[in-house]
Amino acid sequence: MRCLLLSLAILAVACSPALAGRHANGAMNDRPPVIPEEGACCFQDCRCLVLSGAACDSMGGWFLGPDVPCDPNPCGCFVGACCLPGGACVNLLEYECNDAGGTWIGNETCESFDCGPPPMGACCFCDGSCQWLLQDDCAAQHGTFLGVGTYCNPNPCPLPLLGACCIGQTCVFTSEACCTLQSGDYQGDDTRCDPNPCIPNPTQSATWGRIKATYR
């Protein structure tokens, strides 16, 4: 009877969930660490690294899934025709084209694709002059863009009226629009800089008694 009870006690210890993972000396069994599933992680510059999904996200990449290899490169990076704002065509990767402000064609190269003529036109300036520029360049120089395909010969820009413009105490004979661009004070159309209207008349303090005595 005593042998039967001892056998049952040993069996109960061996089957206990709390004790089953321990050795006879009480130490826990070694278990292999859980390794996150890794796979191809694509980056904007077309690099491919084998990473876990969490590591890929933390590095700003795109995780393609566990067990996806990087060889061959699955990131789909290839050069294609990029039409730059000036109309030039350059073979670039998509992200390089975007960084350059261009339009990426992708499935074509510059050897087979024509970006067409540059989107240029007549740009009128405040002094009535004209330059043939890209629209963005015209705006950057405070000009008025007349449209793609317009030209400067003959000059389509109206000649402005001119007048005196005070920039501090300096007088410049120019248009009102040019005066405003220089933060000046336009004196009006057809006003002149001689005599200089920008220098204030000198004043002198005096009492009312002195003024009356002067003009008696």
Cα–Cα distance, 165 to 196 (Å, whole number)? 10
Query: Does residue 23 surpass a pLDDT of 80?
Result: no
Mapped onto helix, strand or coil, the DSSP state of residue 186 is strand
Q: How far apart are alpha carbons 92 and 99 in whole angstroms?
A: 10
As a whole number of angstroms, the distance between CA 191 and CA 70 comes to 75
CA–CA gap between residue 40 and residue 163 (Å, rounded): 69
What is the per-residue pLDDT across 156-179, written as a single tens digit (0 to 9) for each? 999 999 999 999 999 999 999 999
**Domain spans in the chain, listed from the N-terminal domain onward:** 37-77, 78-118
pTM over 0.85: no
| Percent of residues, the chain, with pLDDT higher than 70 | 77
User: pLDDT of 56-101, one tens digit each?
Assistant: 999 988 899 999 999 888 887 778 899 988 788 999 888 788 888 8
**β-bridge partners, 197:** none
pLDDT band for position 152 (cuts 50, 70, 90): very high
Q: Which two tokens stand for residue 66?
A: 């566990």
* CA distances in angstroms from 209 to 202, 204, 212, 216, listed in the order given: 20, 14, 5, 11
